[in-house]
A and B are shown apart, each in its own frame.
Chain A
Amino acid sequence: MSAFPHRHLLGIEPLAPADIQMVLDTADGLKEVLDRPIKKVPVLRGKTVVNLFYEASTRTRSSFEIAQKVLSADSLSISTATSSVQKGETLLDTAKNLEAMNPDMIVIRHASSGAPHFLARHCRSAIVNAGDGAHEHPTQALLDALTLRQRKGRLKGLRVAIVGDLLHSRVARSNLWLLSKMGASVVLCAPPTLVPPGIERLAPVTWRIEEAVEGADAIMVLRIQRERMTGGYLPSPREFFNLFGLTEERVRRAKKDVLILHPGPMNRGVEIASEVADGPYSVILDQVTNGVAVRMAVLYLLLGGSAGGTS
């Protein structure tokens, strides 16, 4: 098996389709460990990983932590609320200090786009981007892809609608890269104030959700943050739901076996109706389970394993 040809995972954009394939295949291989009575394999024994979270996170952080434990890595999570960051320490100093303890990997979530690249430039450890500003959230896109592939058997040729706050969404950017690279056809949908300039060069954009979901194999719903409602982007949550919310009626325009994905946390009644979120086509909880598998794969491949998983 060949080795993963990247030292860091900073985004989906720099990855080749074969790299993405390798992560997904490895995740499929490792997933079985999670069903064992004793969920632990020694493949990363002796490796140290630091989880450095500058933004609140439930799913991503716990999923990285579980992945690390299952693979027997020693890990340590630092959230900025309880660290020296509160005392004014810079990202560079924090990273340099952590590095003096010789971790093999730093997983970082940060509100500044490019913060993982900054760490990669100044640290020796492997860097994994767990979400940076509005830039990328690569492991989210990988777990979404794993979920789609499990249910549909393929990515190539799927029609996927990405709906919601495209302007501020790192999930949208990573998914757009990944799905395009893997041969899926993506349609983007948001009100004009939440469409970032130039994104139409990467995928068609529509302001009508009915058009976006028409014949879709999957619909990815993006979280719309409360503060966007007051930032002059939108008149009200009510109007957003009326025009762009994913309702059962709208879902009926998609294929019968459509899958509904959401990266969480959800605003029920704003971007997604509860009946849809909890409905039969929702794979939102599968996404969470796959999140652990994908993060196991990323840890494994970057910390020196080879593709194909363990046996």
Chain B
Amino acid sequence: MTASDRLTIAVPRGALFGGTLDLLDRLGVDTAEVRANDRKLLFADAGIVTMRPSDVPTYVEHGSADIGITGKDVLLEQAQRKVYELVDLGYGRCTMVVAAREGGDPIGDALRRLGRVRIATKYPRVAGQHFADTGRQAEIVEVKGSVELAPLTGLVDGIVDLTATGTTLAENQLRIVEEIEVCTARLIANPVAHKLKAERIDRLVERIRT
């Protein structure tokens, strides 16, 4: 937990950045400096630290930020983090999906003939859990860059990825075969800050909900 009485907020750069700054404006946090500075990471006056979305649970769990905003996809993948999930913020809506090459049924074929399916993803935990929950044996291949490439080159039979509009998938001749979960932006809190800065956090949550 941060030492000052004020709340330090972890703000995700990337797809959720704009929506998050709009939300903070609505809550009366001055984001002008954050909007004007693309490279700066720490904004002490506004009580804002910016980072990639997947780092937000790390900073909040440790207490380097009291609260933070990140996608449900990140929280699903980092389920072991001890952070409290307080509010579904509604924006940044995406869907975690299983996708495979258009035409035919590469995933079904692999399961039928080889007894297991190879899946590329940036979300190994979510993907592994999804296939385990549905009783299918899967070999999960973790990739860091564009997941869409993996099935096109024959590395895997399908992918698990987050999609907003499906455009990138379609452009790479991939189609959605299963939807795993709808993901939106979430407000999370450090467990200690949630108790010791209860009033401030409750006031913020109250204003987000109204």
A, B: real partners: no
